[in-house]
């Protein structure tokens, strides 16, 4: 027999949207836990991954889902904090997510991070649906806990129904302005051609049965073939976050999207100075329905098969980058695997010039997104790196040529105190933002001011 073990992996679902529109709350409801309550300042600090098995989905969705219609094992949700660019979630030159839920607050409509998410979904051609959240906040709303959305909408007064419909059609209009044909999900026949809008409430769980049903149906219908993988093969994944874990030093929160990673594997990880080759010390995993970032006591496991989230403990991870690839070597040629990681790192293209601004970002994906925006605007970049703004970045910016180039654009990263002081002293202009286009806009304003 051959050593293959073909199986269907869990589709990866990214949950995106503007700050406070309810991404984490929606996942909380689905998980039945209360991560939001434990979050500092109710802002999601880290990206997490949550595996929801099919039987749980079918229980929540009730009559809407017959589990025997499905052979996919469930859904793996990735929560992205609103201030964090979704572009982090990349794999081999594309989107890490197979499918996405764009969460939009019905009262707020489209906001800067909604538009940023839409741009990335478009660029990576990721299929998505829109969860029009907080329907319970429509004045006069009568909640029907956990009900399918058409049922609860029918039970509302005419006034409430028309208020909600007005808000929903505004969202559909915004989608259309952004080049997507959209409609209420129950009127969509072909989810590849049209975006389905699912009205929901993360407060009362109304519409959540619908949301899960649509996601499950979409994956089963359009993605089944892509889900066929050989789980016995060497694992391939993406780093979501690099962080210290008590007792384990620097660890990686990662999503494995192909094959298997084992606790005795040697892995290659993309680092600031190139590929890092290291031996796995431990694989730490949250149990199903628990959140990787709130789990205090991790369970050590022997192996993790795609698709799943895992925390990887290994020596020498200090230079590892969020957004970078991870590959297991196992029985493959070490040099070949290193070359593949090198290639993937090179693919994340940032063109630099002899003179230009310095850019810093929190992840490889966001660095790439920022650099492509600057390229479109013909703003030259001299140095592009992942990580906090340090004094040496200021030193580089000082020598950047034209006065307009003496600038550092920092996306979602910390600015070290001594770097801030030095920038002030050396007249290097510092721009910080969590939204790419706002960052570029403030730089543009600065250039205009210099030129006038
Ligand atoms: P970031 O992670 O900061 O980007 O925000 P988020 O999108 O994860 O939003 P979160 O789930 O933290 O929700 C923000 C606030 O909105 C919280 O106070 C929630 O309780 C509230 N909220 C979320 N969904 C609903 C809803 O459906 N109805 C009502 N009434 N409030 C909601
Ligand atoms: Mg959140």
Tens digit of each residue's pLDDT (9 = 90 or more) over 205-231? 999 999 999 999 889 888 888 888 888
Of 14, 202, 205, 211, the residue with max ligand 1 atoms within 8 A of its CB, to mutate for a pocket test, comes to 202
Q: What's the pLDDT score for residue 362?
A: 83
> Which residue's alpha carbon is nearest to atom 3 within ligand 1?
43
- Please give the number of the atom of ligand 1 that sits closest to the Cα of 36: 12
If one counts every other C-beta atom within 10 angstroms of the C-beta of residue 55, the result is 11
Distance 82 CA to ligand 1 centre (A): 11
Cis before residue 307, ω within 30 degrees of 0?
A: yes
Nearest CA to ligand 1 atom 5: 20
**How many of the other CB atoms lie within 10 Å of CB of 412?**
21
22-31, 85-94, 144-153, range with greatest mean pLDDT: 144-153
**Separation of CA 18 and ligand 2 centre (Å):** 9
Rounded CA separation 262/316 (Å): 18
CA 288 and chain centroid, separation: 19
CB atoms inside a 10 Å sphere around CB 336: 10
Q: What is the DSSP string of 134-176?
A: -GGGSTT----TT--HHHHHHTS-HHHHHHHHHHHHHHHHHHH
Report which of residues 112 and 397 the model is more confident about: 397
Higher pLDDT, 191 or 107: 107
* Structural contact between residues 30 and 60, judged by C-beta atoms closer than 8 angstroms: yes
CA of 114 from ligand 1 middle (Å) equals: 15
Ligand 1 nearest atom to the CA of residue 82, by list position: 4
Task: Please state the atom number of ligand 1 nearest to the C-alpha of residue 27.
Answer: 11
pLDDT of 175: 97
The chain-wide mean pLDDT, for the chain, equals 87
Question: Distance between CA 325 and CA 38 in Å, rounded?
Answer: 30
- Three-state SS at 297: coil
| β-strand pairing of 94-95 with 99-105 | unpaired
**What sign does the CA torsion over 336, 317, 298, 208 have?**
negative
Residue bearing the CA closest to ligand 1, atom 26: 134
What does the alpha-carbon distance between residue 16 and residue 408 come to, in Å, rounded to a whole number? Answer: 27
Burial of 341 (0-12, 13-18, 19+ CB in 10 A): buried
Q: Which of 5-9, 263-267, 317-321, 405-409 has the weakest average pLDDT?
A: 5-9
Atom of ligand 1 nearest to the CA of 25: 11
Q: What is the mean pLDDT of residues 336-358?
A: 86
Please list the helix, strand and coil fractions of the chain in percent, rounded to the nearest 5, in that order: 35, 30, 35
Q: What is the mean pLDDT of residues 231-250?
A: 88
Residue to probe by mutation, ligand 1, list 21, 25, 81, most atoms within 8 Å of CB: 25
In the prediction, which pLDDT does 368 show?
Answer: 80
- Cα distance between residue 184 and residue 206, in whole Å: 15
For range 393-398, the mean pLDDT: 94
Q: Whose CA is closest to atom 10 on ligand 1?
A: 22
Q: Which residues line ligand 1 (CB under 6 A)?
A: 17, 19-25, 36, 42-44, 81-82, 133-134, 136-137, 201-203
- Name the band, by pLDDT with cuts 50, 70 and 90, for residue 404: very high
Cα(22) to centroid(ligand 2), Å: 7
Mean pLDDT of all residues in 182-206: 94
Task: Find the length of the chain.
Answer: 452
Mean pLDDT in residue range 296-309: 85
Structure letter (DSSP) for residue 235: P
**pLDDT reported for residue 379:** 94
Residue 45 is predicted with a pLDDT of: 44
Residue whose token pair is 């000082």 = 398
* Three-state SS at 408: strand
> For ligand 1, atom 20, which residue shows the shortest CA distance?
25
Res. 330: pLDDT tops 50: yes
Among 124, 83, 118, 119, smallest CA distance to 101 is for: 118
Query: How far is the C-alpha of 258 from the C-alpha of 252, rounded, in Å?
Result: 17
């Amino acid at each position: 027999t051959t050593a293959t073990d073909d199986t269907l992996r869990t589709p990866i679902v990214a949950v995106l949207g503007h700050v406070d529109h309810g991404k984490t709350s929606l996942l909380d409801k689905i998980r039945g836990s209360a991560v939001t309550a434990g979050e500092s300042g109710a802002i999601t600090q880290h990206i997490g991954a949550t595996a929801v098995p099919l039987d749980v989905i079918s229980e929540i969705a009730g009559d809407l889902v017959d589990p025997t219609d499905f052979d996919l094992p469930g859904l793996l949700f990735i929560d992205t904090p609103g201030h964090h660019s979704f572009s982090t979630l990349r794999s081999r030159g594309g989107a890490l997510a197979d499918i996405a839920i764009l969460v939009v607050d019905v009262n707020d409509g489209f906001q800067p991070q909604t538009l940023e998410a839409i741009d990335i979904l478009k660029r990576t051609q990721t299929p998505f649906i829109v969860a029009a959240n907080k329907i319970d906040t429509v004045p006069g709303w009568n909640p029907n806990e956990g009900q399918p959305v058409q049922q609860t909408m029918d039970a509302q007064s005419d006034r409430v129904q028309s208020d909600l419909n007005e808000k929903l059609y505004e969202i559909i209009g915004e989608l259309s302005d952004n080049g997507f044909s959209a409609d209420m999900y129950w009127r969509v026949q072909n989810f590849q051609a049209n975006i389905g809008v699912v009205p929901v409430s993360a407060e009362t769980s109304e519409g959540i049965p619908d949301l899960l049903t649509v996601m499950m149906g979409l994956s089963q219908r359009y993605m089944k073939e892509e889900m066929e993988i050989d789980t016995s093969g060497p694992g391939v994944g993406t780093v979501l976050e690099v962080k210290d874990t008590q007792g384990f030093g620097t660890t990686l929160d990662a999503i494995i999207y192909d094959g298997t990673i084992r606790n005795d594997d040697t892995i290659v990880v993309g680092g600031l100075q190139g590929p890092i080759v290291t031996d796995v010390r431990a694989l730490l995993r949250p149990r199903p329905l628990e959140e990787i970032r709130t789990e205090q006591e991790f369970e050590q496991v022997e192996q993790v098969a795609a698709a799943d989230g895992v925390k990887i403990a290994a020596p020498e991870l200090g230079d590892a980058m969020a957004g970078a690839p991870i590959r297991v070597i196992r029985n493959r040629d070490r040099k070949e695997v290193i070359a593949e990681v090198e290639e993937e790192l090179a693919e994340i293209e940032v063109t630099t010039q002899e003179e230009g601004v310095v850019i810093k970002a929190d992840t490889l994906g966001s660095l790439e997104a920022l650099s492509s925006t600057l390229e479109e605007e013909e703003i030259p970049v001299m140095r592009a790196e992942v990580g906090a703004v340090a004094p040496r970045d200021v030193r580089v910016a000082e020598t950047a040529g034209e006065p307009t180039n003496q600038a550092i654009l920092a996306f979602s990263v910390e600015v070290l105190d001594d770097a801030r002081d030095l920038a002030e002293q050396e007249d290097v202009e510092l721009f910080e933002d969590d939204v790419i286009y706002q960052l570029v806009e403030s730089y543009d304003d600065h250039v205009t001011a210099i030129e006038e």
